[in-house]
Each structure stands twice: as C-alpha cells, then as structure tokens.
Chains A and B, each alone.
Chain A
Amino acid sequence: MIRFDNVTKVYDQKTRPALDSISLEIDRGEFTFLVGASGSGKSTFLRLVLKEDRATHGSVYVAGRNVAHISSWRVPKMRRGIGVVFQDFRLLPNKTVFANVAFAMQVIGRSRGIIRETVPEVLKTVGLEGKENRMPHELSGGEQQRVAIARAVVNKPGILLADEPTGNLDPTTSMGIMKVLDKIHRNGTTVVMATHDDDIVNEMRKRVVELNNGVIVRDEAKALYTSMLPVVQAKTEPGHGATREAGA
C-alpha cells in the first residue's frame, strides 16, 4: 500500500537529511507504528506519503502509484484515498460535530442524502452517537480526537495516517482512541501511526518501525516500544546497509 524506495528528503543542504535512504513497505491492511524521538523523521515520512513534500531522492509509492508521477491536479484525488489525524485535532470551531465530519464530504461534492446517511454511521463507529449537534469546545479532548478520526475516515480512505493522535490525551483516553483506530483497522484500512506513547505500542503489539536521525533502526512485527532484540546501532554514513538488514 505504501512503499518507500531509497527515499531521501533534504530540507536544508547544510544539515543532515530528514530521511536518509529509507526503504520500507507497508502492506494493505497492516497496522504500523512509527516510533522515534522528535526530529527522527516520522512527520517527514507522513508528509511524503501525502505528497505535501517531494522526496529529494528515491520514489514513494502509494496504492501502487509513484506519487512523483501524479500531476498536481490529480493530487486531491489521491488524497481522498488517505485520511489524516493530528495531535491537535484541527476541527473547525464554529461547526458542530456533524458539520465538521460532513465538511469532508461536502468539499469533495458528495450529495446531501449520502452525507446524512454516512455521517451518523461514522460517528457511531468512533463512539460519538448522540453528540452530532455539540460544538467542538463542548467536547473533551478524546471526543474531539474521535471527531477528527470520523472526519478522516468518512470518505472511506484505504490509508489512515495518524501523527501522534494521542499526544494531547491522558493514558485512559488514549486507549479509547486506540480502540477506535483498531476498529477502523479491522475494517480493512491500512493504518500508519507516528507516536511517542510506549504504553500504547506495548499494549497493541503491532508492527513497529523505529526511526532515528532519518534512518530506520528497527522494523519488527508484533513488537514493543523498546526493542527486545539486541540494539542495532544507528548508522553514521548514508547508504550503509544496517537498516535494511534490520528490516522485516
């Protein structure tokens, strides 16, 4: 579903690359955690999937297509296949819960009838039935994040990217959010979640890809936040094969 082929991203020539010759494949229907310290390249990874940025070298494939070859006017169509959730929810404060979710359908031209049918369904999936007419500021952080998740999946994308979705939430609320994401995953959506939250990663036991200074230092199935394997040292030179040896 997502494939990185020797991808390097350099923001500033003078500093080290944000991503350094990354190769990675995430299959359809997989649930993957992207872990690593701040500045390790997690957000850059997600931005490249969304074609918010262009890779400096290498190719990024999303749903079998090289994103570099998608013309700019087709990018919106590509993004409809990807849902995104952020740490800061990014809801529209002057719209109700229903309207926030419906907004994602309106802007891609869905008919009113389909919206009225789909939005309550999705709100039910994320556990917000009965709160359609509440305003975002009336909701708790966890509920707001559920609205954001509902908005991200309402157009039934094949991929859900979550950039530290539990970063602003307490552990109990975070687990609730993870249940929602897991439910969405079990419905067949490929989920990639960047996180710092070791409790969650340890609880979920999914694939873990660890980034450090722009390179993959670990890629394990059903893993924990910290490796059970002997630590593979981060390479110091680009092009070194350590990451791929550690790959699954």
Chain B
Amino acid sequence: MRLAFILGEIGGGLRRNLSMVVSVILVTFVSLTFVGAAGMLQMQITQMKGFWYDKVQVAVFLCVDSSTSPTSPTCAAGPATDEQKKNIESLLDSPAVKQYVTSWTFESQPDALKHFKEQFANSPIVDSVTADQLPASFRVNMVNPEKYQIINETFSATPGVETVIDQRQLLERLFSVMNAASLVAVGIAALMLICAILLIATTIRLSAFSRRRETGIMRLVGASKAVIQLPFVLEGVIAAVIGAVLASGTIWLVARFFIQGYLAEQYKDTAFISASQVLILAPALIVLGILLAGLSSLLTLRKYLKV
C-alpha cells in the first residue's frame, strides 16, 4: 500500500513538473555522454597500447647517400658500409645488449621501399621514391620496451648509424593527444554535471514547493520521513537514470556505427574498441546518475523539506 502510494506520488510529481524533468533528463544525458566519451577514449588508449606495444620496435637507421649532414657525425663517411653493418650485428649479439633484446631483423633498402610502397599505396609520392633514398635499418624487439635508452646509447655513436628511433615515443605522442582529448571531455562533463546537480536541486525545490500542502499534512498526520521525502528523491533519480540510459545508448551507437562501422573499416590495421566493450560503461554511467540525483536531492530536501 505504501509502495503504491509512493509510486503514485512520484507519477504525479513527474507529470506536474514535466518540463523541468525533461530538462534534468537532457542535462544528465549530455553530461553523462561526455563522461562516457572520456571513458571510451581511455579504453581506446588502453586497447591501442596493448596492441602496439607488442609490435613496436626500436629502429636503428643506417646512413644513406643523402644523410651526409653535420648533425649526424657518424654518417660523415657516407652510406653505411657492409663492415659497419657487420659491426652492428655483432654488437646486437654481444652479451651486453643481447639480454635486453628478444629478437632483431634487418630491413634492407629494397625491403624498406617495399614497406613504404605498401604504406603509401594511394599516394603519388611512391613513384618518385627509390630504394637508395630510404635507409636500411635494424628492427630490434626489446624484452622491456622501457629500456630503449640502452639501445640508443649503444648505437647512436656507432659509425654508420644515422639515428635510433623508439617507435613507442611516436605512439606516446598520439596517446598524449588522446589523453588530452579525454581530459577535455572530462572537463566538459564536470561542468555539465555541476549544471545537472543544480538543476536537479532546483527541480526538487519547485516540486517540494508545489506540494507543500500535501507534505504539510503528511507531517501532521505522522508520515515517516521516508514516505514524505522518497517521492522527491526518486523523481530526481528516475530523471537522472533516464538521462544515463540515453547517454549509454548514445555512446553505444557511436562505438557501433562510428568506431566499428567507420573507423575500423577505414583503418584495418589498428585495434579499435568494440561496441560490446563500451557497454561496460553503461552501469557506471547509471550509477553515476543515481548518485548525482540522490546526493543533490538529499541536500535540497534537508533544507526545504524538514520533517
């Protein structure tokens, strides 16, 4: 009976404040969508780290014809000779370096051209590039990619080596951009969440004011605090949960149709998060919505609906 009564009160309250309830739904929807977007970006970063860090290598580029520049004194003698190449190979196999290396391969200039042509298949630049313009390189897989500095120190001063590049650092740059983007999303989300809290508080205040006659009588006849306050709290919570469900649906749609349907098709060699992975964000968003509404309504009711 009491449950039916409370449900009836909630229904009445939602109907009476329909426009405010809709605005609460929309604000929580937008704010939680931003929270979800930040979550998706973080998931994507984790996913890409797992995918790429196994594959990244430290590349030791050898000197080519065109690299006789003052910035690389090790290339002063012109392109790397076979002797220099042998020297690097033996260094890679020496015990001092070998313990940090799982494996290494040599990419010759024709190999480099082949890879280059694959990577830029659609670009006209391919036709103007020849094998001797591209550096040959040793591709080193590290036991621990963090120990890149050891390879760098060993080889950057070796004659015939133009430069040592840690591919991970290239990725780090990408990840830092994505991190910044997710921070921006979190920032916007925080602002919107503040907005949502204030709006929920205002809605509940209005609702409590428009029903002050009822609540006054309820107090007099000895209705418990729960019976008086619960309908107001639940009104806010229901609106926020609807917003959270909409936000979850939106990020799922983005993951399904933009990430999986478009990005993953366009960039087949990159690991993207799947729509089902994104769904684990949904409960988090809903819980966040409930907390949001519950907290702000409890604070408001303490002030405006004393029992």
With contact pairs A75-B307, A76-B307 given, residues A108 and B223 touching in the complex (Cβ less than 8 Å): yes
CA distance A81 to B222 in the complex (A): 8
The contact of A103 among B2, B217, B219, B307, by CB within 8 Å, is B217
Contact between B214 and A76 (Cβ–Cβ < 8 Å)? no
A72 at the interface (CB under 8 A from B): yes
Chain B residues near A112: list those with CB within 8 A.
Answer: 1
Taking a contact as CB atoms under 8 Å apart, the answer to whether B217 and A77 are in contact is: no
On chain A, the residues within 8 Å of B223 by CB distance are: 76, 107-108
Residues on B with C-beta less than 8 A from A83 are 221
Q: Which residues of B contact A77 (CB under 8 A)?
A: 222, 224
Instruction: Determine how close the nearest CB of chain B comes to the CB of A16; give it in whole angstroms.
Output: 27
Q: Are A155 and B217 in contact (CB under 8 A)?
A: no
Report the minimum CB–CB distance from B306 to chain A (whole Å): 9
Q: Do A155 and B221 have beta carbons less than 8 Å apart? A: yes
Asked if residues B213 and A104 are in contact (CB atoms below 8 Å), the reply is no
- Considering only residues 194-236 of chain B, those with a C-beta below 8 Å from chain A are 213-214, 216-225, 227-228
Check B222 against A106 for contact (C-beta < 8 Å): no
A110 within 8 A of B: yes
A151 touching B1 in the complex, CB below 8 Å, given contacts A76-B307, A92-B214: no
Q: Are B216 and A90 in contact (CB under 8 A)?
A: yes
Interfacial chain A residues near B217, Cβ < 8 Å: 90, 92, 103-104, 151
A90 in contact with B222 given A75-B307, A106-B1, A112-B1 (CB within 8 Å): no
Classify chain A's interface size: 20 to 34
Task: Answer yes or no: B116 CB below 8 A from chain A CBs.
Answer: no
B262 contacts A by Cβ under 8 Å = no
Which residues of chain A are within 8 angstroms of B221 by Cβ–Cβ distance? 79-80, 83, 103-104, 107-108, 151-152, 155
**Inside 8 A of A76's CB, which chain B residues have their CB?**
219, 222-225, 307
B285 to chain A, nearest CB (A): 33
Considering the chains assembled together, what is the distance between the CA atoms of A77 and B222 in angstroms?
A: 6
Question: Is B51 positioned at the interface, with any CB of A under 8 Å from its CB?
Answer: no
Binary interface encoding of chain B residues 159-176 relative to chain A, with 1 for a CB under 8 A from any of its CBs, else 0: 000000000000000000
For the residues of B in contact with A, the DSSP-based class is: helix
- Flag whether A84 is at the interface (Cβ < 8 A): yes
How many angstroms between the C-alpha atoms of A106 and B5 in the bound complex?
7
What's the nearest-Cβ distance from chain B to residue A218, in Å?
29
Q: Which of A13-44 contact B (CB under 8 A)?
A: none
List B contacts of A82 (CB < 8 A): 222
The verdict on A236 contacting chain B, using a C-beta distance below 8 Å, is no
Interface size for B (C-beta < 8 A) is 18
| Bound complex: CA A110 to CA B213 (Å) | 21
Inter-chain contact A73/B1, CB cutoff 8 Å: no
Interface centre among A73, A77, A109 (most CB of B within 10 A): A109
Residues of B within 8 A of A81 (CB): 222
User: How far is A78 from B219 in the complex, measured between Cα atoms in Å?
Assistant: 11
A133 at the interface (CB under 8 A from B): no
Inter-chain CA distance A111–B4, complex, in Å, is 11
**Complex CA distance for A231 and B13, rounded to whole angstroms:** 55
- Contact of B227 (CB < 8 Å), options: A72, A73, A78, A109: A109
B5 lies within 8 A of A107 (CB): yes
Question: For A151, what are the chain B residues with a Cβ–Cβ distance below 8 Å?
Answer: 217, 221
Q: Are B216 and A108 in contact (CB under 8 A)?
A: no
**Interchain CA distance A73-B219 in the complex, whole Å:** 12
A110: chain B residues within 8 A (beta carbon): 1
Cβ distance B217 to chain A, nearest Cβ, rounded Å: 6
Q: Known interface pairs A75-B307, A76-B225, A90-B213. Does A84 touch B220 (Cβ–Cβ under 8 Å)?
A: yes
Closest chain-B Cβ to A206's Cβ sits at a distance in Å of 24
Determine the distance from Cα of A84 to Cα of B219 in the docked complex, in whole angstroms: 11
Q: Which residue of B lies closest to A114 (CB)?
A: B1
Q: How far is the CA of A144 from the CA of B220 in the complex (A)?
A: 18
Q: Which residues of A contact B5 (CB under 8 A)?
A: 106-107, 109
What's the least CB distance linking A8 to chain B, in Å? 23
Q: Which of A67-107 contact B (CB under 8 A)?
A: 72-73, 75-84, 90, 92, 103-104, 106-107
Proximity bits, A143-155, B CB within 8 Å = 1, else 0: 0000000011001
Whether A72 contacts B307 by the Cβ 8 Å rule is yes
Interchain nearest-CB distance for A26 vs B (Å):
20
**Closest chain B residue to A111 by CB distance?**
B1
C-alpha gap A72/B219 in the complex (Å) = 12
A213 to B221, CA, bound (A): 30
Further contacts, 15 of them, CB under 8 A, given A92-B213, A92-B217, A104-B217: A73-B224, A76-B224, A78-B222, A79-B221, A80-B221, A80-B222, A82-B222, A90-B216, A106-B5, A107-B218, A107-B227, A108-B222, A108-B227, A111-B1, A112-B1
Interchain residue pairs with CB less than 8 A apart (18): A73-B224, A73-B225, A76-B223, A76-B225, A77-B222, A79-B219, A80-B221, A92-B213, A103-B217, A103-B221, A106-B1, A106-B2, A107-B5, A108-B221, A108-B222, A109-B227, A111-B1, A112-B1
